[in-house]
């Protein structure tokens, strides 16, 4: 709640800053479940790390994308908690019933049915979604057994098919088309451009590529400017992204800027 945030900033933040200044702490973190106060903490420039629920069920929550972008712009590390939505995203039921606080939509503790998914989600799909989001530094899944740890770590060796969440996303809430999620359903590209990686670099740069981002782009085997304007990528995109136009924008950003 806002009053809790105000109290913490007035009373706990000064203490945390003193401890950091004395070498007792390295970074100041803030954990939140509401978008308004979490974004305030990020934009105030007072914290180094934010813990916030990020999962596929919260993709269409208004304001989530703005919070992610604020973290990226402010160089605030984002630790994504509840990547499995408190375990609810892994349940076998087709209907996805989840509480708002488990998907970053507020503090409502009543179940909300947000959609009918076409298939059961796996831990790998859930984590692949989370780490694909611009601004996310790391995911923090809750595991209560060695088997669950192994299921989460399977992400590291999973192939693209196992990580694919694109067919699930539109069924979860009021999904807005036009946003690239770097799923590479636009491939294969006749010019052999790695479109997902290209657009991710462009989005991560926030319009002003860093030297590291420029180096990553330069290391790609095929530049975006090799696009032959066939429009096949746009036609394949399941999310209504004007992919060909985005590729052209990436070429201008990295090769003309």
pLDDT at 177: 65
- Residue at 63 is within a domain: yes
CA distance 257 to 252: 7
Q: What is the CATH number of the domain that holds 144?
A: 3.20.20.100
| Cα 225 to Cα 206: distance, rounded to the nearest angstrom | 19
Find where tokens 């609810």 sit: 88
pLDDT, greater one: 118 or 75: 75
The pLDDT of residue 58 is 87
Mean pLDDT of all residues belonging to the chain: 90
114 and 206: one domain?
Answer: no
Q: Which of 255, 129, 132 is nearest to 197 (CA)?
A: 132
Instruction: Give SS3 for 250.
Output: helix
Indicate whether 180 belongs to any domain: no
Q: Is residue 7 situated within a structural domain?
A: yes
Query: Is 24 contained in some domain?
Result: yes
Q: Do 139 and 222 sit in the same domain of this protein?
A: no
- My answer on whether 240 and 154 are in the same domain is no
pLDDT band at 14 (very low <50, low <70, confident <90, very high): very high
Q: How do the residues of the chain divide into helix, strand and coil, expressed in percent and rounded to 5?
A: 45, 10, 45
Q: Is the dihedral of CA 247, 217, 180, 158 positive or negative?
A: positive
**Joined tokens for residue 216:** 């990553």
Share of the chain above pLDDT 90, in %: 66
Segments forming the whole domain that contains residue 238? 195-255
Going by their DSSP bridges, the two strands 49-53 and 77-81 should be labelled as parallel
Boundary (domain end) residue, out of 171, 205, 226: 171
Highest mean pLDDT among 59-68, 178-187, 207-216: 207-216
Q: How many domains does the chain have?
A: 2
- Based on the domain organization, do 163 and 55 belong to the same domain? yes
- pLDDT band, residue 84 (cuts 50/70/90): very high
Contact 136, 182 (CB under 8 A): no
pLDDT in tens, 159-187: 999 999 988 877 776 555 677 888 888 99
Q: Which helix (H) or strand (E) holds 248?
A: helix 243-255
Same domain for 249 and 154, yes or no, is no
CA–CA dist 85, 182 (Å, integer):
22
Side by side, the strands of the sheet bearing 29-31 are 29-31, 49-53, 77-81, 138-140
pLDDT for 47 equals: 96
Question: Any residues with CB less than 8 A from the CB of 60 and at least 6 apart, and which?
Answer: 172, 173, 174, 175, 176
Choose one of 123, 156, 171: the last residue of a domain.
Answer: 171
Place of tokens 């946003």: 179
Q: Judge if 204 and 110 occupy the same domain.
A: no
Residue 111: inside a domain, yes or no? yes
Q: What is the pLDDT of residue 92?
A: 79
Considering the domain boundaries, does residue 190 fall inside one? no
Instruction: Please return the burial class of 72, using the count of CB atoms within 10 Å of its CB with bins 0-12, 13-18 and 19+.
Output: buried
Last residue of some domain: 104, 137, 171? 171
Whether residue 125 sits in one domain with residue 93 = yes
Q: Which pTM does this prediction carry?
A: 0.80
Query: Is residue 70 one of the residues assigned to a domain?
Result: yes
Q: Is 227 or 169 the better-scoring residue by pLDDT?
A: 227
Q: Do 217 and 150 share a domain, yes or no?
A: no
Residues 155 and 130: beta-carbon distance below 8 Å: no
The residue among 66 and 107 whose pLDDT is bigger is 66
Q: Is residue 178 part of a domain?
A: no
pLDDT score recorded for residue 100: 78
> Which one is predicted more confidently, 144 or 119?
144
- In terms of domains, do 130 and 248 share one? no
Q: Tell me which H or E stretch contains 235.
A: helix 232-236
| Distance separating alpha carbons of residues 203 and 135, to the nearest angstrom | 10
Q: How would you class 116 by CB atoms within 10 Å of its CB: exposed for 0-12, middle for 13-18, buried for 19 or more?
A: exposed
Q: Is 151 found in the same domain as 200?
A: no
């Amino acid at each position: 709640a806002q009053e809790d945030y105000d109290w913490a900033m007035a009373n706990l933040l000064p203490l945390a800053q003193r401890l950091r200044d004395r070498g007792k702490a390295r970074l100041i973190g803030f954990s939140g479940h509401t978008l308004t106060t979490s974004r305030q903490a990020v934009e105030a420039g007072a914290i180094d790390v934010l813990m916030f629920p990020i999962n596929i069920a919260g993709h269409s929550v208004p304001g989530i994308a703005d919070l992610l972008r604020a973290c990226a712009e402010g160089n605030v590390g984002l630790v994504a908690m509840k990547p499995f939505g408190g375990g609810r995203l892994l349940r076998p039921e087709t209907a996805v019933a989840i509480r708002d606080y488990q998907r970053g939509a507020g503090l409502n503790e009543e179940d909300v049915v947000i959609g009918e998914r076409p298939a059961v989600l796996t831990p790998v799909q859930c984590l692949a979604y989370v780490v694909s989001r611009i601004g996310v530094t790391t995911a923090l899944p809750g595991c209560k057994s060695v088997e669950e740890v192994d299921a989460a770590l399977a992400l590291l060796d999973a192939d693209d098919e196992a990580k694919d969440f694109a067919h699930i996303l539109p069924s979860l809430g009021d999904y807005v088309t036009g946003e690239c999620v770097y799923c590479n359903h636009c491939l294969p590209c006749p010019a052999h451009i790695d479109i997902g990686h290209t657009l991710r670099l462009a989005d991560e740069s926030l319009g002003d590529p860093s030297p590291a981002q420029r180096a990553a782009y330069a290391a790609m085997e095929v530049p975006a400017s090799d696009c032959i304007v066939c429009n096949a990528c746009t036609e394949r995109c399941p999310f209504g992204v004007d992919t060909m136009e985005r590729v052209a924008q990436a070429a201008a950003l990295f090769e003309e800027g």
